[in-house]
Structure 1
């Protein structure tokens, strides 16, 4: 066994316990290494090696120059020379030292060839210094990568992660990627890979971008991957770091706005989803890379989604948004993705809208406001779609109202983001406001009054108005105003009633209810029940008005904390659970 270090007159006081054992091991092998160490080199500030200068300088002209320069600078014979940015750190330097102490021989494998090659380039271990030097040996080994298995190629590319800058600058990463893409080209239907969608075939110009440079020889059977899936290649590349994945896609000609491959887009989204999960679990890779390192890949995935939007459902688009949101997505890509989602907002569900908030809020309310704004201004807007979104937004309001960090302005913004025509009834909005007021008992009187301005009392049911009138959380002037409007509606006979025969102007709505717009007195005798119900409603409202007038002086300025025992007309269940 060849050891790296042979030193004289070294005090063990400077070593840790594990370092002492290692150093004593070197001393025991002194006879196998007769050259005394005359140089101390600290690699990347992590570890110091005590070596013989002549042994390493015989293979590295650069190391010889470094030693001369540093010693001339310090004028101290036993000074420590520091080398920064060494490929692979102490592990890389140890491999190089073994090569030098073993008279230019070392076992080169798929797992260490990338590191040895990068170290050889860094130290200038060329044929000009010594014949059959380390750089020549590693290049000879790499020339045979066409015969490597798929897994060996991926593994070698993965090993470049810790010294990526060195491996990339030397052209090694590019060489490995071309080998990788050559294997993909021999084992994948390129037309399928380059297809812009699952239902359309690619043009020759598009497919040509995926015909990678590869040797004319047929790839040996042993090098072919076993999987027959169309995206087998990307499933295996999941282990690679983001900067290498980015270079792979760039070499495929599908980076950024050039991405028009459905398979590549879905594979990228899967890769980003795994990165999100690793960040949440506190994985080691998550600590190595910031989320901004994935920004280019996120943009590429979104461009693919935009170019093939017909292949993604509304729920799928929301899923894409959740995945890419945390990766520093560019403003342009985010705007285009939100434009797609906003255009199909009528297909969304409540779960889709409940996107986690970025700031203090539980939910991302600003996102819903932007999507609603896009939907309202879309070209293909119909009354049916508008009312469907109106119902959805009312449910969303009820869900977000218990959030203690939700501001009144946000509730108003969501409630008023749709026109009145989007709602046949404002009962849902009132329910959300009541939940919000109950969850925010310290809300000032002015804020409560401001919050109620989004209610259209003319579109509230009789039961909702009666509950509003009795609700101690609602400002008295608001309650009186609502009751007056309801009283006038009943007096004019504007409520929907079920009758068999009506005389006078009428209109049948979609629910089978007959809207009677004439005078109540003109109803036929057979509709006495209807007339009695209307009269009863008027009496109820008049009674509620008298009660409100009596309570107004007491309610103004009253502490709302003692008014939380009422049960609203809709028999509200416990507050919605916050996700």
Structure 2
């Protein structure tokens, strides 16, 4: 057959090919449709076609021409199947042509090597839209994820997320630090060579196939570390947002809080979207009982007066409470202890406004603290630094204290503490008075049951520890009256004990007499 080079094809601006128009249009529907329309160019001796965004570019077009000139035959292998499949769809090479041949080749993808699957996936990411619409991307993804899921290829690592050694350093002047290698699974490194969009698709399929979320979380953290090492600020922002969104779709226990704090600290210079930052903070907040004080000491944003970002911690605590944190007594008490440590740390900050301190001190429910001594010490420190507070502001701060949960030593300290409003000393003594009344009531109930006098001694010792200041004479009289009643009860108790002892001795003598007469009765 006589062939003529009557068609000039510019492929993606990369390279120009001179081919036979009739031969190519007989296989390529795209060209056939183009030449079926009247055009001024047909009057020219040589036609010119410019192809934009042909998948695979010049390399793929050369293979297409070989297929067309070869009468519908071309050598297919794992390295060119995906390219030709997408290029054939682009050129509208019907199902009986090159598309059919590439689909046959894809049927043997289970026999491809791992490196060939990775290579094919990289090809697809360069023309992801047509790879998705043609179906080839799904087949390659399915093969890749299936191989990762194969038991013989599974990572031997079985460490819990809490023991993760991830340490983050997102500063542009440094790279990740920490013993991350031990937690890296065999497929981590190969997948870091994929684009962000392709990684998202791989992870989404893993989640759909119910992969272990801990392994997925570790991979995403590793991918983030590698990707941020050499990227522009905009690329860093996009990668961080994408990784956070994927982490958010995992089980909440899959990612250690320490790693999430690493992302948070590293992203401080990035302009993350509000949604992304909200998700990151909520993931941390839901497990804030797992973090340490050092994690919470995040510097305040530039331009603010305070040293630490108290607003951030308040959001953490709110996320914790809103997501069932208060349902577990042990968890909420852990958070209570952590919050008291944080309050003590930020209290000396002269730039910390009273409203912020009040919000922090009162955000947790009462059951978060068995004892309010630590909270009192934090408030004491705050009042010592913030000397210009009004009496009203001081009272608002002190409203967060449950005086009934203060120890007697702390009540004594409070009553002598000039930094606190005088009314707080009265409140403390009233609460202690209530405690004594309850203890006395319990003691009376015990006496009715014939119990000992240990509780009486506890009440007397407890009352002696209280500060009975002159401004609380009424309370002083009440407490002294209670002490007198306790002493009277003790006298009654001792008399009862003496009587009971005499009765016991009498009973013992009676038993002895009975035992001596037994031999006479038996003789």
Which residue of 391, 395, 398 maps to 2:341?
395
Aligned position for 1:156:
120
| 8 Å CA contact 1:321, 1:337 repeated in 2 | yes
SS at match of 2:458: strand
| 8 Å CA contact 1:349, 1:392 repeated in 2 | yes
SS at match of 1:156: helix
Looking at CA atoms only, which structure, 1 or 2, has the larger radius of gyration? 2
Which residue of 423, 448, 451 maps to 1:481?
423
C-alpha distance in 2 between matches for 1:289 and 1:403? 35
| 8 Å CA contact 1:114, 1:160 repeated in 2 | yes
Aligned position for 2:293:
350
| 8 Å CA contact 1:493, 1:516 repeated in 2 | no
| 8 Å CA contact 1:153, 1:176 repeated in 2 | yes
Query: Does residue 175 of the first structure (1) align with residue 175 of the second (2)?
Result: no
Structure-2 change in CA distance of 1:167 and 1:443 (3 Å): farther
SS at match of 1:516: helix
Aligned position for 1:418:
364
TM-score normalised by structure 1 residue count: 0.51
TM-score normalised by structure 2 residue count: 0.56
C-alpha distance in 1 between matches for 2:349 and 2:36? 68
Q: Note the alpha carbon deviations across 1:75-107, whole angstroms, 9 max, x for none.
A: 9999996655543xxxx2211343366656988
Aligned position for 1:367:
316
| 8 Å CA contact 2:125, 2:195 repeated in 1 | yes
Aligned position for 1:268:
216
Higher alpha-carbon deviation: 399-408 or 420-429:
399-408
SS at match of 1:301: coil
Which residue of 393, 413, 431 maps to 2:378?
431
| 8 Å CA contact 1:298, 1:329 repeated in 2 | no
Shift of 1:452: 4.4
Q: Which runs of 5 or more structure 2 residues have no equivalent in the other structure?
A: 162-182, 265-271, 437-452, 473-523
C-alpha distance in 1 between matches for 2:20 and 2:403? 94
Q: Which runs of 5 or more structure 1 residues have no equivalent in the other structure?
A: 1-32, 199-228, 472-477, 495-501, 509-513, 521-529, 542-579
Q: Structure 2 matches for 1:454-473, cutoff 5 A?
A: 454-455=400-401, 459=406, 460=410, 462-463=412-413, 469=418
C-alpha distance in 2 between matches for 1:97 and 1:465? 90
C-alpha distance in 2 between matches for 1:389 and 1:269? 25
C-alpha distance in 2 between matches for 1:123 and 1:171? 16
Structure-2 change in CA distance of 1:230 and 1:40 (3 Å): closer
Shift of 1:371: 1.8
Which residue of 29, 33, 52 maps to 1:61?
29
| 8 Å CA contact 1:268, 1:297 repeated in 2 | no
| 8 Å CA contact 2:28, 2:92 repeated in 1 | yes
Aligned position for 1:123:
91
| 8 Å CA contact 1:95, 1:116 repeated in 2 | no
Shift of 1:123: 0.7
Q: Structure 2 matches for 1:169-568, cutoff 5 A?
A: 169-180=133-144, 183=147, 188=152, 232=186, 236-241=190-195, 244=198, 254-255=207-208, 259=210, 261=211, 264-278=212-226, 280-281=228-229, 283=231, 286=235, 293=242, 297-302=246-251, 318-319=257-258, 341=287, 345=289, 349-351=292-294, 361=309, 363-372=312-321, 377-378=326-327, 381=329, 388-400=334-346, 408-420=354-366, 422-431=369-378, 434-435=381-382, 438=385, 450-455=396-401, 459=406, 460=410, 462-463=412-413, 469=418, 478-482=420-424, 505-507=456-458, 515-517=461-463
Structure-2 change in CA distance of 1:372 and 1:161 (3 Å): same
| 8 Å CA contact 2:10, 2:48 repeated in 1 | yes
Q: Note the alpha carbon deviations across 1:37-82, whole angstroms, 9 max, x for none.
A: 75656x4xxx475554645546533134346669579999999966
What RMSD in Å do the two structures reach over aligned CA positions? 5.9
Q: Note the alpha carbon deviations across 1:512-562, whole angstroms, 9 max, x for none.
A: xx8422xx5xxxxxxxxx9xxx89x96999xxxxxxxxxxxxxxxxxxxxx
C-alpha distance in 2 between matches for 1:462 and 1:86? 83
Q: Note the alpha carbon deviations across 1:238-269, whole angstroms, 9 max, x for none.
A: 544565556556767x52xx73x5xx211210
| 8 Å CA contact 1:490, 1:538 repeated in 2 | no
Aligned pair count reads 405
C-alpha distance in 2 between matches for 1:144 and 1:265? 30
Shift of 1:318: 2.9
Q: By percentage of residues, which structure has more helix?
A: 2
C-alpha distance in 1 between matches for 2:351 and 2:76? 60
Structure-2 change in CA distance of 1:407 and 1:116 (3 Å): farther
Aligned position for 1:10:
none
Shift of 1:230: 12
Aligned position for 2:444:
none
| 8 Å CA contact 1:61, 1:123 repeated in 2 | yes
Q: Note the alpha carbon deviations across 1:103-160, whole angstroms, 9 max, x for none.
A: 56988664444223211221123586xxxx7546645654543432222222322331
SS at match of 1:370: helix
